Chains A and B, each alone.
Chain A
Amino acid sequence: MKKLLVILEKEFRQVFRNPTILRMVLIMPVIQLIVFPFAANYEVKNVLLSIVDHDHSDYSQKFINKISGSGYFKLTDYSPSYNKAMESIESGTADLIIEIPEGFERSLVKENKASMLLAVNAVNGTKANLGGVYATNIIRDFNRDIQMEWIRFPKFNPQPTIEITSSNWYNQHMNYKLFMVPGILVTLLTLIGSLMAALNIVHEKEIGTIEQINVSPISKLQFILGKLIPFWIMGLVTLTLGLIVSRLVFSIIPIGSIGLIYLFGMVFLFTLLGVGLLVSTYSETQTQATFVSFFVMMLFMLLGGLYTPIESMPEWAMWITKINPVAYFIDVMRMIVLKGSTFTDIKVQFFSVLVLGVFFNAWAVINYRKRS
């Protein structure tokens, strides 16, 4: 125990004597957490709209007014032809073309039906889909208005109608920040934790001080613990700062218990640092450690469920999320913060991360050799 304290003292001194690292760990995450949730918004607004109106009728004018007044679309130009409008799509000044054919009003009134062409720039599938859905809904609405104008509906519906009502639980106002802030906090914690741990032992190897540790009378376990604990505490400090920021800046107050967030955070950091230390024991140079941990981290983060829902990933990726501590933590953060989940709700995630942590750390201890 006493030996461990001595190593800890050494590690802490090293950390505090490097102001750059300290700044990176404390200030950078806070700034990023304040700024980036404003960027992380999937809501599709201001879809750029180009209209090709061949009809120039009363109805087509009404429709154009309706769609440009809806708030989702920004009318950028009236094009004389479809090909001209395609040019705006190519140059990026339009996302959506609506073409109203000649004789639109006439055929709607005389033949009882008319068509309209929507062409969406679908390079970004999600965005195109949403834009298309908005536009179709507005057309449907417009259509209903016209029908109301022409037909007097009987008291009872002439045909079976299903009325759809929908409600959004846990996040009624569909506030993206509630959803993104906990996730971004986990991302930042992951970045910092895994990097610091991965570089640390290798740094000693590269500058040669590892030799001194190898000849000193400390056990492998003590050595690894001495590396683990300082970063673990720094990670918890980052977590605390993050929670304070989300409270003060975004007024996010977890519905569940904060103690539970910390409990899970502790286990998560233990696992994450274990992965970093494991990478560190295998690498010879810092460059090597950087790349391996970069690769692992990208995999963890992109498959963590923050940016794309896990359910829509292919099966092999879903398997990776089973051994991905980041995915578990993001999931648990959301459950505690938004749904107020208790320990019983998250125990599967908790024990999975704990088992992973014990596994990676044990591997790191075994793999670290005290001889060169």
Chain B
Amino acid sequence: MRLIVVFQPQFQESLLHSNQAQIQLIADASDPNTATTVTTYASGIINDYQQEINELAKVPYVIKPEVRMLYNPQLKGAYNFVPGVMAMILILISAMMTSVAIVREKEINTMEVLLVSPLKPLLFIVSKAIPYIFLSLVNVITILIVSVTILDVPINGNLFLLMAESLLFIVTAVSLGLMISTFTRTQQEAQMISLVGLLLPTLLLGGFMFPIESMPLPLQIISNLVPSKWYFLIVKDVMIKGLGFSQVWKDSLVLLGMSVFLLTVSFKKFKIRLQ
């Protein structure tokens, strides 16, 4: 039970005779968000009812607000959730898959073979990453098909732009995975770091669960380091609002910068010798 509605004694008499009556709403605020929503709904219904009673009486000087919900007139949660879940799944899966796959070579000792072969480290890293980039793109397509067909979330913008931005984000995530793999030794470590270290930050600081602008300033600053935040903004702009590249180039530049940085670091740290 979430809400109790308490009518004062002799509610009807009081309302009819002295023109005033009280209703008390008691909400279970152990979940504050639900409590606020439920109280707002109930107050809205009571106000509507009151207006119905007052239909006949004319009140002067009325301002009538006309509310227009842009982009999402039915206030569907999916419009926000689809971009959010896309950002989260892509970064977790890409980073985790890449880091685990590379560390696996170390753990089962096939790394040695690769390192003594005439293969350049760069080539090794790139060829490790490409299959996962491809797989993640398949992921994006699946999510988009599900969101259009089952969840009724339209793709209002340019599909190619959306795919290109997704590719950029996947590259960032894969680079992150590469970096994790350079300082871990076992698959278990790699997996722990990519999951425990990434899941909550992306979920909480990515901007889709909780509004970033209500967070304390240090966290607002930290949230800029979370790649999924930028991708989330891009997907919302391109997919839901239908905007073009001119609106998202700054966010894309941030992602590009992050990828370059992560790749440089992991390439520098990639050891060609076994300890």
Binding site for B on A (CB under 8 A): 18, 20-21, 24, 28-29, 32, 35-36, 38-46, 48, 89-92, 108-109, 112-130, 132-133, 135-136, 139, 142-143, 146-147, 150-151, 156-172, 174-176, 178-179, 184, 187-188, 191-192, 195, 199, 203, 206-207, 286-287, 290, 294, 298, 307-309, 311, 334-335, 338-339
A337 to B225, CA, bound (A): 33
A339 to B205, CA, bound (A): 29
A20's contact among B72, B184, B208, by CB below 8 Å, is which?
A: B184
B90 at the interface (CB under 8 A from A): no
Per-residue CB contact flags for chain B residues 31-45 toward chain A (1 = under 8 Å, else 0) read 111111101100100
Question: Nearest Cβ in chain A — how far from B53, in angstroms?
Answer: 5
Flag if A307 contacts B209 (CB, 8 Å). yes
Question: Nearest Cβ in chain B — how far from A320, in angstroms?
Answer: 16
B269 at the interface (CB under 8 A from A): no
Flag if B62 contacts A113 (CB, 8 Å). yes
Flag if B71 contacts A41 (CB, 8 Å). no
Given contacts A44-B211, A127-B211, contact A290 B70 (CB under 8 A): no
Question: Nearest Cβ in chain B — how far from A187, in angstroms?
Answer: 7
In the complex, which residues of chain B have a beta carbon less than 8 angstroms from the beta carbon of A151? 60-61
Sorted from nearest, which 7 A-B pairs have the closest CB atoms?
A: A168-B29, A125-B75, A122-B69, A122-B72, A166-B25, A171-B29, A157-B19
In the complex, which residues of chain B have a beta carbon less than 8 angstroms from the beta carbon of A128? 69, 72, 75
A143 to B47, CA, bound (A): 15
Stretch in contact with the other chain, from B112-120, B136-144, B188-196, B257-265:
B188-196
Per-residue CB contact flags for chain B residues 54-75 toward chain A (1 = under 8 Å, else 0) read 1001011111111111111101
A309 to B80, CA, bound (A): 16
B233 at the interface (CB under 8 A from A): yes
Closest to B108 in A: A206
A146 to B60, CA, bound (A): 10
In the complex, which residues of chain B have a beta carbon less than 8 angstroms from the beta carbon of A46? 213-214
Flag if A43 contacts B214 (CB, 8 Å). yes
In the complex, which residues of chain B have a beta carbon less than 8 angstroms from the beta carbon of A334? 30-31
Given contacts A143-B62, A191-B195, contact A169 B28 (CB under 8 A): yes
B73's contact among A122, A159, A203, A311, by CB below 8 Å, is which?
A: A122
Flag if B63 contacts A143 (CB, 8 Å). yes
A253 to B147, CA, bound (A): 42
Flag if A159 contacts B19 (CB, 8 Å). yes
In the complex, which residues of chain B have a beta carbon less than 8 angstroms from the beta carbon of A158? 19, 57
Binding site for A on B (CB under 8 A): 2, 15-16, 18-37, 39-40, 43, 46, 49-50, 53-54, 57, 59-73, 75-77, 79-80, 89, 92-93, 96-97, 100-101, 104, 107-108, 184-189, 191-193, 195-197, 199-200, 203-205, 208-211, 213-216, 219, 223, 233, 236-237, 240-241, 243, 247
In the complex, which residues of chain B have a beta carbon less than 8 angstroms from the beta carbon of A290? 96, 100, 187, 191
17 A-B contacts, Cβ less than 8 Å apart? A20-B184, A20-B186, A21-B192, A44-B214, A116-B66, A123-B241, A124-B80, A126-B33, A132-B69, A160-B16, A163-B20, A166-B43, A170-B30, A171-B29, A191-B195, A294-B92, A307-B203
Flag if B65 contacts A115 (CB, 8 Å). yes
Closest to A92 in B: B233
A41's contact among B28, B34, B215, B240, by CB below 8 Å, is which?
A: B215
Given contacts A38-B215, A143-B62, contact A21 B53 (CB under 8 A): no
A171's contact among B30, B54, B73, by CB below 8 Å, is which?
A: B30
Given contacts A24-B192, A162-B22, A167-B24, contact A122 B39 (CB under 8 A): no
Most buried by B among A20, A21, A39, A195: A39
In the complex, which residues of chain A have a beta carbon less than 8 angstroms from the beta carbon of B195? 191, 195, 294
Flag if A36 contacts B200 (CB, 8 Å). yes
Flag if A161 contacts B50 (CB, 8 Å). yes
A36 to B100, CA, bound (A): 26
A274 to B215, CA, bound (A): 37
Flag if A125 contacts B76 (CB, 8 Å). yes
Question: Nearest Cβ in chain A — how far from B237, in angstroms?
Answer: 8
In the complex, which residues of chain A have a beta carbon less than 8 angstroms from the beta carbon of B64? 113-116
Flag if A139 contacts B214 (CB, 8 Å). no
In the complex, which residues of chain B have a beta carbon less than 8 angstroms from the beta carbon of A172? 29
Flag if B68 contacts A120 (CB, 8 Å). yes
A188 to B25, CA, bound (A): 35
